[in-house]
A and B are shown apart, each in its own frame.
Chain A
Amino acid sequence: MKPAAISKIPQKPVKKDEGLWQRIKKNKQAYKYVLPSMLLVLIISIGPILYGIGLSFFNANLYTMGQGTVKFVGIRNYIRAIGSLDAEFLTVLIRTFIWTFVNVFFHVTIGLVLALALNRPKLRGKGIYRTLIILPWAVPQFVTALVWKMMYNEQFGFFNFALESLGLPTVQWLSHPQLALISAIIVNIWLGFPFMTMVATGALQSIPRDYYEAAEIDGATYWQKFRNVTIPLLKPAMLPAIILGTIWTFTNFNVIYLITGGGPNKATEIVSTYQFNVLTQQNAYSMAATYSVIVSIILIIITTLNMRVTKALAQEGVE
């Protein structure tokens, strides 16, 4: 779980009469505190990342590295990745977008519906419902993904077993190309809706009851209250969560990899698993790095767009 980006950097007034060198000397301690973490990140992460970006302009793979024939190829890898419409990566990319959209849509919809139900003033047993609903979120994703994989097992898994005992035909959960993707989406919806429920519940609780009472006095219907009071006041809390959810889903690895492995026949491959398989099965180091760069450019675009929208909405709220 890696939260996405960050917006503002606080700015403190700088005293102009002080020289730069003096300020550096005065703050010697600060550099000592900051340096270890900076160095670690620089050596262990940023260095290798830059090297990896560089690698995407070469033709490095297990074979060329063994032969000593690694050479600069310019943007050939990028052209191979997205240059032609029938490129495998492009299919994977489109599938990833569909995967992300469907998942986030259901996360938010289910989350909202449940939060609204849980927010009914006279509902008893809210605490129990909430706890039970949150459970899928609290269990580590790695474990649940493996458990779902076993439940989907076509010979012995729970689902086919249950279907059989009901006298229904069994389903090819993981061996049918389209069904396998749907199966993985079901798991990811199950994993993701609790987070949205929690965020939405928190946001709903912060809406003062007075607003609804005022709307009722004006004769607003349930739907009108929902559209004109609930939704606008939910937006500021929900949008950051939706951005995070989008990034998590787009880059999700565990669900697809642990359940389908990208199969059958690459039918459920999304960018993160595809990259991993290219790296580990084909040992195509440069291609894997190229995909990685493309994916992070896409993520930067998504994040920036989202932040713009969020900012615009936040300002709208102020006025």
Chain B
Amino acid sequence: MKNKERISYLFTHLFMITVCAITLVPIWWVLNTALDSRTTLVSTELHLLPQNPTIGNFAEVLTHPKFLLWLKNSFIFAAGTTIFCLTLATLAAYAFSRFDFPGKRSGLASFVVYMMLPATASLVPQLMLIRILGIKNTYLSLILIWSAANMAFAVWNLKGYFDTIPKSIEEAAIVDGATRLQIFTLIMLPLAKPAIAITAIFVFTVPWTDYVTSYLFLSDGTMYTLAQGLFGWAADFKTVSWGVFCAGSIIMALPLTVIYMIFQRYIISGLTVGGVKG
């Protein structure tokens, strides 16, 4: 390398290191606070690394009865929504991709129109509906709401992927005498695994991190989610130390963070290409 070029690369490195350092401040702060063993509720000293690193905060969070309850609730809500929404969405996406039935185009278009409707206008009527159905403060209520909210996206995303699977595979199966349901479960679903996984990640994220919906629909403390719980802790650091809060945040964030880091490429292309082109 020429000298001039070498200097320019040196500056690029300096620039990138600065950017990374600034970017990492909040993440460093959470880890630092969560691992720090301190007796005060808030930080009184600043150290680059925790002085007496400890996992005490994590131990405290993971034995905290309320936190465990929220964790359980969040998991049931998120997993329930993911399974329910994806079951309905893959079925519909398959039909939209492989059948040529009257009403198909308007059916697909209705999902697009649905995405443009003012979703937040539905909150009050939905509350009324949940009360009429008698399912207030149940897992089912929010699983239904979150599934419906994500249905259009899931159907379009999966349909887009089904469209890329060549039809010749199915035709061979039909010749062999397979039924439509067999084709769907034995051939299409395994082939669509990557798309289903990415869609599942998106759908799972929504209930896991949604604060508004759970705040509005859940009034029973035993049904609270992690988002509600941590929001309460953040507002009240007089009873819960920042270390405990940070440990809780890490537990809530870590699984998704790892998954997003691993699947970043697919997630980005799923969002931009799949989302816009269908």
Q: B246-277 toward A: CB 8 Å interface, digit per residue (1/0)?
A: 10010011001100110011001101111111
Once the chains bind, are B89 and A1 in contact (CB under 8 Å)? no
B209 CB contacts on chain A under 8 angstroms: 140-143, 254
B112 on the interface (CB 8 Å rule)? yes
Size class of the contact patch on chain B: 35 or more
Q: Given that A1-B202, A139-B257 are contacting pairs, would A146 and B249 also be in contact in the complex, using a CB cutoff of 8 Å?
A: yes
Do residues A38 and B92 form an inter-chain contact, with CB atoms below 8 A? yes
Residue of B nearest to A243 (CB): B276
On whether the beta carbons of B89 and A37 are closer than 8 Å, the reply is: yes
Q: A296 and B116: CB pair below 8 A?
A: yes
**How many chain A residues have a CB neighbour from B under 8 Å?**
105
Interface-lining segment among B56-64, B168-176, B189-197, B230-238: B230-238
List, in ascending order, chain A residues with CB within 8 A of B16's CB: 114, 117-118, 125, 129
Complex Cα gap A24–B149 (Å): 28
B249 to chain A, nearest CB (A): 5
Complex Cα gap A199–B118 (Å): 28
Mostly, the A contact residues are helix
CB B49 to nearest CB in A, in angstroms, measures 15
B23 to chain A, nearest CB (A): 6
Closest chain B residue to A254, Cβ basis: B211
Confirm or deny: B109 has a beta carbon within 8 angstroms of a beta carbon on chain A.
Answer: yes
Partner of A139, one of B27, B119, B181, B264: B27
Among B24, B46, B102, B231, the one with the most A-chain Cβ atoms within 10 Å of its Cβ is B102
Q: Mark A185-222, 1 if CB is under 8 A from B, else 0.
A: 00000100001001100100000000000000000000
The segment from A92-100, A147-155, A172-180, A227-235 that touches chain B is A147-155
CB distance from A303 to the nearest CB of B (A): 7
Extra A-B contacts (12), CB below 8 Å, given A139-B257, A140-B209: A36-B91, A37-B151, A40-B88, A40-B151, A56-B121, A135-B24, A147-B26, A150-B242, A156-B43, A243-B276, A244-B275, A296-B118
